[in-house]
């Protein structure tokens, strides 16, 4: 049975499963901002992040943020949250152009160039008109990194970024800003190069970082020495998991939650990353809709309750089979 065929209305869920596993992106989905729940130090981290972004905006400087965490801790969602907060502070409304790059190797030149090319694509998609000279310079981006050498291309890109800021800041429909997101930071050198490129552009670069101690990722101490703002993510404990589950449910349904009080804290005895938690919650909702008797809607149809014993047995089975992620 497909998700479309499941009767989510039995739970009062007019928008479908509230525990879908997808990055939250308030830049493109207005409702996603409300799904960022105060767990994982979110409120305190947002306050510190907001202060950093505000200070950079007031000084006319670009911002550089690293979102660090282990797998499934929501790094992409938080990176989008960083961009959204930057957009609000700068008063850009929907006028923030975002270049997104998935890093696949340690060649910083390649990924800086990819970000600049992607930024040009975003400008074209937004149907923004630039001066002929700047447009011509942007059209030549892909040749700069290949022919200029590593000591020259950052300054040429910096000039383009500065000129772009100048033209976009005076756009008739309102000031536009631009940003770059790099998923999977592999070396600190990439940050240094982007600091040179974005130096005078009042823009923002966000890097997601895998918080593991191995050769394919820099250490946090090394990143701190570069003067970036770091947001650190962790797995969630039982009370935090309950908070996420209840907040998402209340935002999606007028009916009471099918998870009994205190059950989620008891089920998750050990911390778990948010992506694995949301995936499991969504799977339980779908399973109950597939297997409950036809007795009407929750809560009158008690077969739709997702009890503690059922959840514990499910997680134990998944552990035995090799994990729930």
Closest CA to 185 of 286, 75, 86, 72: 75
| Residue 24 near residue 154 (C-beta atoms within 8 A) | no
Closest CA to 29 of 73, 88, 75, 94: 94
Section 59-65 average pLDDT: 97
For residue 26, pLDDT over 60 is answered with: yes
Q: Cα 287 to the chain's mean position, in Å?
A: 28
Section 217-243 average pLDDT: 92
Which tens digits make up the pLDDT trace of 165-210? 999 998 888 899 999 999 999 999 999 999 999 999 999 999 999 9
**Tokens coding 198:** 């974005």
Section 293-322 average pLDDT: 90
Please name the helix (run of DSSP H) or strand (run of DSSP E) that holds residue 98, with its range, or none. Answer: strand 96-102
pLDDT band of residue 145 (cuts 50, 70, 90) is: low
Which pTM was predicted?
Answer: 0.90
- The dihedral region occupied by 295, where left means phi > 0, alpha psi between -120 and 50, and beta the remainder, is alpha
For residue 1, pLDDT over 90 is answered with: no
For residue 150, pLDDT over 70 is answered with: no
* Alpha helices by DSSP H, 149-301: 153-169, 188-197, 220-224, 238-250, 263-267, 274-291
The angle subtended at Cα 231 by Cα 117 and Cα 236, nearest 5°, is 120
**Average pLDDT of the chain, as a whole number:** 90
What pLDDT, on the 0 to 100 scale, is given for residue 299? 96
């Amino acid at each position: 049975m497909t998700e479309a065929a499941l009767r989510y209305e039995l739970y009062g869920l007019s928008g479908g499963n509230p525990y879908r596993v997808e990055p939250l992106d308030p830049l493109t989905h207005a409702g996603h901002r409300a799904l960022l729940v105060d767990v994982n130090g979110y409120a305190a981290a947002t306050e510190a992040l907001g202060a950093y972004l505000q200070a950079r905006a007031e000084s006319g400087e670009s911002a550089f943020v690293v979102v660090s965490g282990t797998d499934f801790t929501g790094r992409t969602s938080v990176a989008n949250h960083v961009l959204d907060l930057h957009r609000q502070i700068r008063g850009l409304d929907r006028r923030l152009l975002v270049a997104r790059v998935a890093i696949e190797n340690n060649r910083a030149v390649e990924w800086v160039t990819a970000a600049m090319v992607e930024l040009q694509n975003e400008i074209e998609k937004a149907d923004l008109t630039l001066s002929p000279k700047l447009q011509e310079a942007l059209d030549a981006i892909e040749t700069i990194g290949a022919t200029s050498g590593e000591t020259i291309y950052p300054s040429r890109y910096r000039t383009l970024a500065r000129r772009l800021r100048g033209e976009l800041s005076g756009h008739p429909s309102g000031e536009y800003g631009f940003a770059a997101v790099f998923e999977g930071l592999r070396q600190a050198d990439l940050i240094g190069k982007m600091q040179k490129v974005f130096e005078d552009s009042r823009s923002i670069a966000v890097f997601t970082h895998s918080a593991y101690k191995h050769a394919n990722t820099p250490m946090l101490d090394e990143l701190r020495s570069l003067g970036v703002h770091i947001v650190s993510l962790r797995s969630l404990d039982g009370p935090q998991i309950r908070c996420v589950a209840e907040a998402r449910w209340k935002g999606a349904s007028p009916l009471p939650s099918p998870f009994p009080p205190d059950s989620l804290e008891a089920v998750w005895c050990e911390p778990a990353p948010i992506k694995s938690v949301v995936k499991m919650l969504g799977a339980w909702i779908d399973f109950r809709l597939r297997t409950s008797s036809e007795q009407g809607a929750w809560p009158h149809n008690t077969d739709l309750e997702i009890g503690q014993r059922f959840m514990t047995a499910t997680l134990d089975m998944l552990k035995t089979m090799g994990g729930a992620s």
